[in-house]
Each structure stands twice: as C-alpha cells, then as structure tokens.
C-alpha cells in the first residue's frame, strides 16, 4: 500500500470530490466534518468507508498523520484486498463496526438537537404572541413561521439498528469479530453492511445539518429580523409605555442560553447581539423599533441604494427619473420603442450605480444594510418593480447568502470582492485581452501614458471597474436569456416561481456539476508538470490534475449559462469561469452540460494552440472539425445522418463548437445509458476524448458499438497505472513522499 504523510490541517478529501480509494489512518487522527457536525477518526479508522461515488464529508488531518492508501471503492475491491491480506480482516471488521457506532451516536445527537430546535422555536414564538396579547401590544409580522415545519427525513437510521450497534460494541465485539473473520465472504458482508448503514446515517445527518442551517436564522440572523429581534423590539415598546419588561428579559436570557447550547451559531454574533441588548436603555423614550424584514416594503429602497452609491446628485436624480418613467409603463417588458429606450437608459447607468455602491460597501462594510445586499447580490432596486412578496422573500434571503457560496462558487458581489482583495484577476474582455493586456492596448492607441499604465497595473479599484465594464455588463444580459427586453433591475415578471425554488444555490450547482463528472470523469483534468523538490526521478513527469471551474452567479432571473473562460490565465492549472443566473426556472442540469460541453471544446483549443483544427494533430477539436467540414463525403454516415447534420449546422449557424456542445449533451444524458442519439462518427470521437467512468463502461461493454474502444482505453490505463506504480516505488525508495495529488494521479487511470 502507498503511504501518505499528511500535515495537520491538510485536506485529505473534500465534500463533493470523487471517491477514488479509501485511506487507513496508521498514525495521528482525521476530522470527518460536515458543517458543524464532526467525528474524530483515530488509528486504524478508514477514511471513505461510508462514502459512495462522492464524498459526503470533508476529511481534514487533526494532527500530523500517516495514511495508508487502500485501493478499494466497492465490495469487489474489498474482497480482492482481504483475500490478498488476511491480516486486514480483523482490523477492517473492528473499524467498520466501531465507526458505525460513532456515526449512529452523531446521528442520535443531531436527531435530538433537531427535535429540540423545532420545539423551542414553536414555544418561544407562541410565548411571544401571548406576551403581546397580555401587554396589549401589536405583534410584529414574522412570515418565517409560515414555512417552518418539523423536518421530514428521507434517510433514517432505525432505532433497532442503533440499539443493535450499542449492544454489539459494548458486549460482544471480540467474539463477533472472531466469528465473522473466518472467511472473506462473511467479512466483506459485515463491512459493506456497516458501510451502507453509515452512508445512510450520514445522509440523514446531512439532512439535519441542512435543516438546522437553513432555519437557524429564525432565532438569530446576521441581518436581524429574527426571534431575538422580536423580543428585543417588544421590550423596547413595553419600556416606552413603562410596562414590566422582566418577562421579555427572561425570555431573551433563555433564548441566549439555547443559542449557545445548540453550537450552530457564530459565537461572535451571539456576543454582539447580546451586548447590544444588555447595553440598551429601555427606560428612554422615543427609541426606534428594531427593523424587521417586513419593514423593507415601506422603505424607499431605490433612494437608499442611490444615496449609498455616493454618485453626484444630478446623476442620482436622472436615474430616479428614468426608473419612475419605466415603472409608469403599462408593460415593462414591452418591445415598443419607448420601453426599449428606457431599458437602454437604465442599463447604461445601472453599472455606474453598481460600481459606486460596491466601493462604498467594501470600504464601509459595517454600513451595508440588507437592502444594499439585495442590490449587490440579486440586482434588486425597487419594491414596485420586484413586487412586495418577492421583496420580502429577497430580504429574508440576505440572511442565507452563505447558501450561494462555496470554494468555487460566488455571487457577483463576492466575485468582485475577491478581485478587489487581489485573490482573483479580472476576466478577459471581448477582444480576449486580460486586464494588463487591455492597458497595453490603450497605451499603444495613445489613450494611456506609460506612467498611467504602471499606476493602474496594480490598482484593485480599476480592476473591479474593468470586470464590471467587460464581463459583468455583457454576461448579465446574456445569462438573462432576454436579449431584447433585458433590464438589469430585478423585475417581478422574471420571477415565475417562489424565490426558494428559483434560487441557484451552491448545492444545486455542485449536484449539477457532479452529474456530468459522474459520466465524463476526465472533463476537468489536465496535464501539468509534476513538482518534485530535490529529486530528479519525476522531474519530467506530467501529472493529471483536476481543476474545478469557478462559477459566478449573475444578479438576474435568467435561463442561460455561459462558459466565459476555459482558464483564469495562460496557465493550464487555473480554473475555468462559468456564469449562471442566480435565479432560474430552467433545467440546471441541462444548463451545466451546455457550459461543460463548450468548456471541453475551448480547453482543447487552448491546449492545441494554432493547430487546434489541424487534422494532422489528432485532438477532439481537429477530428470534430474534420468530421463536420467533410461530412458530405464521409462514407461512414448514412443519408439520414447527413441530413440531420446539415440541420444541426444550420441551427448552430455553422458554429462547430455549438454542434459539438449539443452532441456532448446527448452523450452525457442518453448515450451513457445505452440510448443511441449520435451517429457512428461522432460517437467514435467522443468515446476517445470524453470516455465514460469505469462503472458505466462495465454496464455498456457488452454492446458491440463500445466493445473495442472500451477495451483499448482500459488496456492503455492499466499500462499507465503499472508504469506510475513502479515509478512511485522508485521515488519512495529515493526518499520521496507520496502526496494526495500523486495518489489522485494514479487513481485517474483506474477510473
């Protein structure tokens, strides 16, 4: 087995990554983590034993650790492993049973906390209503309770399973392991049964984590408008009338204690809200009530946003006037000249307003209100344009903005912040020039001097302006899908369902991305130079590295995705940039496949350079171009296939990339399931350059259409894996350490 040495805090596997093998903890410990739910895995525990195709959890080294790589993903692999290494039977049996026991313990704890949370929320809200009634004060509207129900679990661990596990671990573990370790079939059965139970329990844990994460803002939210605010507001109003506020203070104290006990809230947030409450003088009169989500519909949101932007007053007045004229139209989506002219005027000024608001927000973060967040993340500007119900829903959504964020997923506001902070570089413009290239072009044209170029080269503010002008402005319009009637202000007419159903969350995007990765396993892999410090053995070796795309959410309710860049810069190991609307009623899986198909094409073009369509240099793009260019003379195509291809080229306006993207979608959706949609020539190219995973190949290999191609691919992969294993052995013997990246490279040829 390969040995991995991992430093404390280093990620061994991340949630939503492919499971390529298991890892046995030989020394140290690993934290199995899903949001606030954690389990510590010590010596002889197995990372990955409960996983299926994709990791449900993150696995992070709790200390400097040594892991053994187990070439195992399923029962067949496990049976081969135990047959070759009998000494692992008892270790794996004990590990599976004890890890299942700990997983059930976590499941039970979360189940209890979830029930407590639901009961507590219901109780404190009913108490609030009773207090308002007894004091003769109006209740503040609290629409969150309209959608608050007890969790309905899809994945459950049954009570008998948990009791069985407890009894086994406490009373009969040694005898049970001796009995089940007598042959491989018994051992594999016990281990895989425990793995399946752990997997189901962990899916249940994920449901409960998601439930608590989604609903926790009911009690305490960063944006306010929560239960804490209700009681605080009630105490303020009672204090004005010189009523007894002791019951409210008692409830706030109980609420604070519960928040701390749940261990799902940020400690600093609790501390700051409690401090605000404790320092408040309830005896003073004329105090303002705490703002809630319901108040936003009565505010001048457009005025608030424009004043915050810091733009000159004449520009503010002009924009306000245009918006008022737009609101007065009988049909804001009309295609007549008046409506078109107003939308064009709004679009011309919108991005200046956005830049001004953005700069104020990043330089004065403490002054950013929910209304400003609604504008920056969703494109909201006016209650009348967005509609009252949608405005309230958007306000509530600002307390859950985290669901639009992950390691590779950004709202447009967070994306621009990452550029402002220097974490990301601006995207290329329509002439395929990056920020510095555009500055040099302006210098060449005489628009900038040499000194200005040097000054602007590292000006983060100008980089943000460049990104807004070049990427944001055009991508916002295109992803909306409404080229002729597009308005950058979020409109009620564009929101054709509830906000929660339309919201393109990070989880939905990751699921859509993974559906394609489960079929086309190599799509985001590319060859990079192996980093071999101090050793020459692997210095000239290329390593396969998976680089997932950055996905940026445009502030609109749209229907189109875009593949904006295949890499972030000239280097191959930088992420692509995909663009999606933040709200959509379209099929997200189809939108993702379309973007990935275009990425496949453009990435090949980048790698091949000027010879991307030269058939003498075999590649995806060169073979597809040759196939499309000379299809009329191709004897491998039937008359019917040629007619269909002619129609496809006409629809795509002779754009070969778009024809390929449509074929790629059929390849992923249908051909991977054995349903033929492509002609023989297109299929042969895709088999070669976009191969299916080993599991899909196994299901389809009996079909003569795929047999030869699959057999050749697997022979080539076995040769490459054997060569790499021998090379890694030599590398280890010379003093090198096998890294997770190197192990992933080997696993690539086993997929």
Q: Is 284 or 672 the better-scoring residue by pLDDT?
A: 672
Please give the Cα distance from 471 to 747 (Å, whole number): 37
Query: Are 266 and 314 a contacting pair, CB within 8 Å?
Result: no
**Among 86-90, 307-311, 312-316, 344-348, whose mean pLDDT is lowest?**
86-90
Q: Is 427 or 184 the better-scoring residue by pLDDT?
A: 427
**Distance of CA 741 to CAs 247, 368, 530, 543, 546, Å?**
58, 41, 10, 9, 9
Please give the Cα distance from 9 to 61 (Å, whole number): 5
Query: Are 463 and 426 a contacting pair, CB within 8 Å?
Result: yes
CB atoms within 10 A of CB 78: 22
pLDDT tens column, 135-167 = 999 998 888 898 899 999 999 999 999 999 999
Q: Residue 682 is encoded by which pair of tokens?
A: 């297109």
Query: Are 743 and 21 a contacting pair, CB within 8 Å?
Result: yes
513 has pLDDT over 90? yes
Which 3 state secondary structure label does DSSP give 330?
Answer: coil
Q: Is 358 or 296 the better-scoring residue by pLDDT?
A: 358
Rg of the chain's alpha carbons, rounded to an integer? 29
Query: Are 495 and 390 a contacting pair, CB within 8 Å?
Result: yes
Query: Are 383 and 395 a contacting pair, CB within 8 Å?
Result: no
Return the closest-CA partner of residue 227 out of 143, 150, 157.
143
> Mean pLDDT across the stretch 697-726?
89
Please give the Cα distance from 206 to 414 (Å, whole number): 26
SS3 annotation, 551-574:
EEEEEEEECCCEEEECCCCCCCCC
**What pLDDT, on the 0 to 100 scale, is given for residue 726?**
87
Return the closest-CA partner of residue 307 out of 375, 394, 231, 251.
375
Residue 637 per-residue DSSP state: S
Query: Are 290 and 232 a contacting pair, CB within 8 Å?
Result: yes
**What pLDDT, on the 0 to 100 scale, is given for residue 289?**
47
**Distance of CA 226 to CAs 10, 44, 121, 292, 338, Å?**
37, 45, 11, 8, 43
**What pLDDT, on the 0 to 100 scale, is given for residue 619?**
96
């Amino acid at each position: 087995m390969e040995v991995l040495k991992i430093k404390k805090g280093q990620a061994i596997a991340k949630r939503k990554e492919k499971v390529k093998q298991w890892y046995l903890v030989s020394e140290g410990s690993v934290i199995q983590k899903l949001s606030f739910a954690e389990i510590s895995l010590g010596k002889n525990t197995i990372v990955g034993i409960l996983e299926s195709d994709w990791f449900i959890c993150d696995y992070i080294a709790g200390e400097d650790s040594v892991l053994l790589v187990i070439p195992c993903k399923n029962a067949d692999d496990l049976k081969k492993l135990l047959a070759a290494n009998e000494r692992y039977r008892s270790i794996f049996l004990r590990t599976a049973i004890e890890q299942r026991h700990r997983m059930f313990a976590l499941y039970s704890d979360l189940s209890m906390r979830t029930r407590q949370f639901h009961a507590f929320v219901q109780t404190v809200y009913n108490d609030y209503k009773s207090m308002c009634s007894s004091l003769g004060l109006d209740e503040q509207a609290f629409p969150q309770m309209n959608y608050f129900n007890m969790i309905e679990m899809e994945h459950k661990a049954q009570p008998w399973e948990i009791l069985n596990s407890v009894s086994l671990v406490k009373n009969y573990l040694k005898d049970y392991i001796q009995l089940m370790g007598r042959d491989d079939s018994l051992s594999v059965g016990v281990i895989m049964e425990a793995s399946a139970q752990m997997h189901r329990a962990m899916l249940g844990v994920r449901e409960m984590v998601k439930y608590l994460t989604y609903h926790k803002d009911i009690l305490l939210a960063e944006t306010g408008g929560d239960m804490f605010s209700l009681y605080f507001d009630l105490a303020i109003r009672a204090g004005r009338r010189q009523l007894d506020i002791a019951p409210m203070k008692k409830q706030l104290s109980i609420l604070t204690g519960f928040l701390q006990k749940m261990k799902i809230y940020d400690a600093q947030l609790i501390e700051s809200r409690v401090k605000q409450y404790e320092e408040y003088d309830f005896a003073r009169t004329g105090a303002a009530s705490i703002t809630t989500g319901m108040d936003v519909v009565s505010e001048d949101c457009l005025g608030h946003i424009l004043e915050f932007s810091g733009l000159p007053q004449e520009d503010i007045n002009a924009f306000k006037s245009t918006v008022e004229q737009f609101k007065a139209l009988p049909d804001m989506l009309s295609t007549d000249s008046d409506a078109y002219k107003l939308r064009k005027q709004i679009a011309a000024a919108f991005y200046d307003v956005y830049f001004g608001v953005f700069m104020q927000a990043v330089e004065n973060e403490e002054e950013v209100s929910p209304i400003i967040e609604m504008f920056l993340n969703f494109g909201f500007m006016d209650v009348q344009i967005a509609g009252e119900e949608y405005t309230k829903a958007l306000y509530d959504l600002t307390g859950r903005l985290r669901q639009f964020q992950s390691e590779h997923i950004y709202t447009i506001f967070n994306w621009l912040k990452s550029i402002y902070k220097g974490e990301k570089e601006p995207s290329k413009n329509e002439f395929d020039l990056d920020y510095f290239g555009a500055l040099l072009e302006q210098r060449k044209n005489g628009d900038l001097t040499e000194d200005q170029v040097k000054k602007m080269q590292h000006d983060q503010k100008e980089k943000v302006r460049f990104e807004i002008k070049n990427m944001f402005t055009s991508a916002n319009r295109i992803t909306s899908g409404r080229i002729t009637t597009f308005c950058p202000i979020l409109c009620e007419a564009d929101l054709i369902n509830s906000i929660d159903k339309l919201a393109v969350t990070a989880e939905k995007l990751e699921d859509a991305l993974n559906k394609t990765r489960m079929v086309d396993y190599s799509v985001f892999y590319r060859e990079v130079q192996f980093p071999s410090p101090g050793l020459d053995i692997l210095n000239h070796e290329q390593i396969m590295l998976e680089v997932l795309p950055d996905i940026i959410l445009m502030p609109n309710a749209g229907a189109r995705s875009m593949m904006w860049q295949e890499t972030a810069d000239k280097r191959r190991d930088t992420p692509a940039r995909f663009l999606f609307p933040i709200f959509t009623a379209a099929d997200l899986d189809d939108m993702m496949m379309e973007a990935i198909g275009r990425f496949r094409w453009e990435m090949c073009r980048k790698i091949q350079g000027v010879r991307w369509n030269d058939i003498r240099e075999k590649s995806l793009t060169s073979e597809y171009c040759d196939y499309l260019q000379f299809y009329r003379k191709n004897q491998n195509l039937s008359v019917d296939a040629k007619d269909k291809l002619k129609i496809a080229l006409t629809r795509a306006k002779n754009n070969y990339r778009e024809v390929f993207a449509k074929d790629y979608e059929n390849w992923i959706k249908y051909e991977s399931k054995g349903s033929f949609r492509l002609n023989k020539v297109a299929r042969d190219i895709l088999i070669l350059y976009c191969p299916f995973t080993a599991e899909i190949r196994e299901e389809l290999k009996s079909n003569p259409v795929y047999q030869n191609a699959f057999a050749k691919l697997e022979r080539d992969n076995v040769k490459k894996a054997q060569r790499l294993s021998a090379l890694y052995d030599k590398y280890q013997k010379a003093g090198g350490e096998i890294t997770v990246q190197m192990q992933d490279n080997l696993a690539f040829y086993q997929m």
